[in-house]
Structure 1
């Protein structure tokens, strides 16, 4: 059996583990994402070296947010500002003497679902990764679509609300309305700070769900707005790409309450849109959770090792 180290890098945490050639995760864990470049790279290298003490590691697969070019150069890296303009493949290979493959996180999650998940046998679909930011993987005819510069799938940049020309336009983007940390948690924290300047911003959406369960009006309002903002983005993507299915990934995709409420919001908007409603039973893609859930990035990062050899 061959073993590989996979990294699923997020703006808040890095999931890491050992994955075998069949896509089975042997061991996994997570750490807080370092925010300094040298520490970031050294941390990944040290984790690989630790795994090598127990496993004969063949290669390393990494998935990360941002615009990832074919040679492993990170044009951007989502919320991880210290990694902008870094060739992660080259820098990490210097420290571990193993081959490293680097892929966009949403692309990795999307292709993992085609390998072992909810998109087996499906050739045209979208995979949305909703976490610190809002990323997407586009699969057309069974292949990841990257665009001219590797930027395809940056759905979080999309503006779906009325703009305010006195502010940064991204304040009205899906990253700030429909991501989990950068959207839901941000909106809730800002609303709390408005009446309580001592409130410390949160990054854990479970706090908001718990507050809503306990009857807090603000939590209920922010969650409802979050669902409808996300559903609006999904309807736009449905109309633009005509996928067979839209898969929702990221940690929140394992939350049953989230899935039920998002489904309800999507169906409500579909019913209220005259043209979409006319064909919703014949031509509108269903919205489903990724089968691999929070493991899709880790598995997809390793799958890219095999894919890039072909």
Structure 2
């Protein structure tokens, strides 16, 4: 049995996971923003399981940001107090447990390989749409991290015309195809511009419902969201030629979103002469991730499971 912990900007989700990727005793707590309270909270979660179970073999942690193989967090997403923290060593020292730490998008990709929609794949990409855009690259069955641990930061890619001055990240995928920083932000900006007294929404489901109801602002923003995401996916397919691209994040479970994305991709691919020609010889399918909100917890413990199976 392993302790799986999935750290998000707002919540820490955690559970026990067995060698069949089954989850037990799952719960969640708010994420402390300061370093020491955060470390104390994670330690308390693990120690509570240790007190109840004597068969825990290790701790797997999924976390946002750029994470090195030794557990050093170069960045930590919105949890800025953890920048420069070796989370693996901190938790190991406090609990005495074998600990592994993995980037959250990589954890999703690993989980899908273990018990999800990538079980029969060896070369695939996973893109997670949430507050920002996370990515996992799997080559020959192994996560590819790059020279500095930043491989898979698909959200940094720039696909828009650059602003004349200032931060060019405003032209990045993070600020156009993520759910919060992209879809919701752009919808709210358009809404307030047209209706200054309107109330903003940060629930993508509400925006998609308004899209169904043919609200003009929702139609414009969601159509552009589908197009920007389709362009990003086409670029990734052209660069990596993966067996599949899996899309994770809560929005991936929305059938309306997925149907709109597939329709947009087909239209764009038809208009791209080279792609339209080569598709007859095979092309990368876009699939929803299977494991939804449990993927981070499951993927976090997979390295421990793999190690136990090989020993």
Under a length normalisation based on structure 2, what TM-score does the superposition of the two structures give?
0.91
- Structure 2 residue matching 1:70: 3-state secondary structure: coil
Q: For 1:273-301, what per-residue CA distance to the aligned partner results, in whole angstroms no more than 9, with x for missing partners?
A: 11111112323200001122332221110
Indicate whether 1:254 and 2:253 are aligned: yes
Q: Deviations over 1:160-209 (max 9, x none)?
A: 11111323111111111011122212222333343566766544322322
CA distance in 2, matches of 1:147, 1:81: 23
Residue number in structure 2 paired with 1:293: 292
Counterpart CA distance in 1 for 2:230 and 2:41 is 37
Aligned 8 A contact 1:79 1:133 in 2: no
Report the TM-score, using the length of structure 1 for normalisation. Answer: 0.92
Residue 32 of structure 1, CA deviation: 3.3
Correspondences of 1:135-284 after superposition (within 5 Å):
135-195=134-194, 202-284=201-283
CA distance in 2, matches of 1:31, 1:257: 31
Matched, 1:98 2:97: yes
Q: Is the 8 A contact 2:208 2:257 kept in 1?
A: no
Shift of 1:233: 0.5
Aligned residue in 1 for 2:53:
55
- Candidates 29, 32, 43, aligned match of 1:31: 29
Unaligned runs of 5+ in 1: none
Kept in 1: contact 2:6–2:104 (CA 8 A)? yes
Residues 53/204 of structure 1: CA separation in 2 closer, same or farther (3 Å cut): farther
Per-residue CA shift, 1:117-143, capped at 9, x if unaligned?
Answer: 111121111111111111111111111
Name the SS for the 1:281 alignment partner: helix
User: RMSD between aligned alpha carbons?
Assistant: 2.0
2:79 maps to 1:114: no
Q: How far 1:215 moved relative to its partner?
A: 4.0
Change (3 A) 1:198 1:274: same
Within 2, Cα distance between the matches of 1:33 and 1:204?
Answer: 20
Paired residue secondary structure (1:163):
coil
Counterpart of 1:132 in 2: which secondary structure? coil
More moved, 4-13 vs 275-284: 4-13
Counterpart contact for 1:181–1:203, Cα < 8 Å: yes
Query: Matched residues in 2 for 1:199 and 1:38: separation?
Result: 40
TM-aligned CA deviation for residue 303 of structure 1: 0.4
Tell me the SS of whatever aligns to 2:101.
Answer: strand
1: CA distance, partners of 2:49 / 2:215: 45
Distance 2:95 2:57 in 1: 11
Question: Which of the numbers 6, 9, 26 marks the counterpart of 2:4?
Answer: 6
Change (3 A) 1:29 1:213: farther
3-state SS of 2:287 partner: strand
Provide closer, same or farther for how the CA distance between residues 197 and 76 of structure 1 changes in structure 2, counting only shifts above 3 A. farther
Change (3 A) 1:181 1:242: same
Query: Cα distance 1:34–1:187, how it changes in 2: closer, same or farther (>3 A)?
Result: farther
Displacement, 1:96? 2.4
